[in-house]
Structures are given as C-alpha cells and as structure tokens.
Amino acid sequence: DVKVTQSSRYLVKRTGEKVFLECVQDMDHENMFWYRQDPGLGLRLIYFSYDVKMKEKGDIPEGYSVSREKKERFSLILESASTNQTSMYLCASTPRDRGYGYTFGSGTRLTVV
Amino acid sequence: AQSVTQLDSQVPVFEEAPVELRCNYSSSVSVYLFWYVQYPNQGLQLLLKYLSGSTLVKGINGFEAEFNKSQTSFHLRKPSVHISDTAEYFCAVSPSNTGGFKTIFGAGTRLFVKA
C-alpha cells in the first residue's frame, strides 16, 4: 500500500528549540508539500518542492524552512519554535500527473510550550 | 488564481438521511476538482475527483459529486449517511494544465451524523 509517513504523530517542544518534522513517501512522487491545519483556518501551505533540492515558499513560510536532499524525503524545520506554531502539520505528495490528487500523511500534532 | 468556497462550516444530519455538502470555486484556467475526507486525528484521504467527461463522479464510501460548469460548483452528496461518515470534508481545486501543481483547499465542512 502506497503511503506518506510522518515520523511523529505527537510532539511537544519548548519555545526556542529547533524542530525537525520528517516526511517520507514511497511512491516516487516528484512533488511534496507541507501544510499546517488550524481550526477555522483550513489548510495553509507552508512550503512545497517540485524536485530534489528545489523548494518554493507557500502562503505562510515565515518561521519555517525545508530541506529535500532525496526525492522521497521532505523535511520541515522550525528554526526557533514559538507557541503560535502549535498546530497540526500535514505532509502530502503527488506525481507530475496533475489529476492524481494528493496523498497525505497522518499528520504531526506539534505543541510548543 | 483559484479559490474555493465551502458554503457550510458544519452540517448536522440524522443517520440514514441524505446529505449534500456544497462547494463553489472560481478559476481563470481549467481545473481539476477533488473532495477529501479527514477523520479525527488523521490526514486527508481522497474521496473522489473530477478530471473530465461525465459530470457525475462516484467515489469511495458511497459518495458522489456533480460538476456544474455554469454554476462553478462541485457539490458532494450521499443518499444515506452512517455514523461512521462523521468527519471533516474538504473541497479542492487544482489547475489542469498550467500554473503549477498547487492545490487550493476550501475551509472544510464538518459533517456530524446523529443517531
């Protein structure tokens, strides 16, 4: 069964810590995405990547960075975690076929205290 | 640019009743349309999609949606809901041949099925 795996389901970090959220897909998809989901705000795109070592800012990139050194792995980095980054983080991937749709991971619920 | 509006934030319905979740979109280019479902504490799962052809598309779990180009709508329907359909549903639009691969999601509709 094809899937997107996020390394942690729940994570608690302290303010100011550097936080790494990992996402791995086994479908050989070219495109990968990081979203955050907050009640009432829906899904907001943080960063995305069309290819290895390539990244583009989404709608809310401030306070985040990403890394894509290998095709299957897309990491989201919170440089200095803050309480307003407490959220559900969702990783997704899709191939170049625009009609395929996204495959999502199960999400990481991050709490910054 | 594309945008998606889900007209209801919450829809309560009794078990075995029909349900319609409404979605309108706007776009300057041709698009593909999707519905996703999210069960509590999980990621989103693709429910169905419209790419071309027949305007009525069928998805998993007995759901279907109808694409209406003139109304720019893509409403999701199910003739008889179950308790297990309680979830949040997201309508989404993606450009079909240009403008990148970003998908725009609606704000979501929370379906609550009551016994």
Tell me the domains of chain B and their CATH numbers. 2-114 (2.60.40.10)
Per-chain mean pLDDT for chain B: 92
> CA nearest A6 in B: which residue?
B43
Angle (CA) A81-A87-A89 rounded to 5° is 95
- Pairwise CB contact (< 8 Å): B101 & A40: no
**pLDDT tens per residue, range A10-20:** 999 999 999 99
CA distance A34 to A76: 7
> What pairing do the DSSP bridges indicate for beta strands B109-114 and B10-14?
parallel
Nearest to A42 among B49, B102, B108 (CB): B108
Judge whether residue B27 has pLDDT over 70. yes
Cα-atom radius of gyration of chain B, to the nearest Å? 14
Domains of chain A: 4-112 (2.60.40.10)
Tens digit of each residue's pLDDT (9 = 90 or more) over B63-100 = 999 999 999 999 999 999 999 999 999 999 988 876 56
Give the residue among B40, B111, B38, B49 at the shortest CA–CA distance from B81: B111
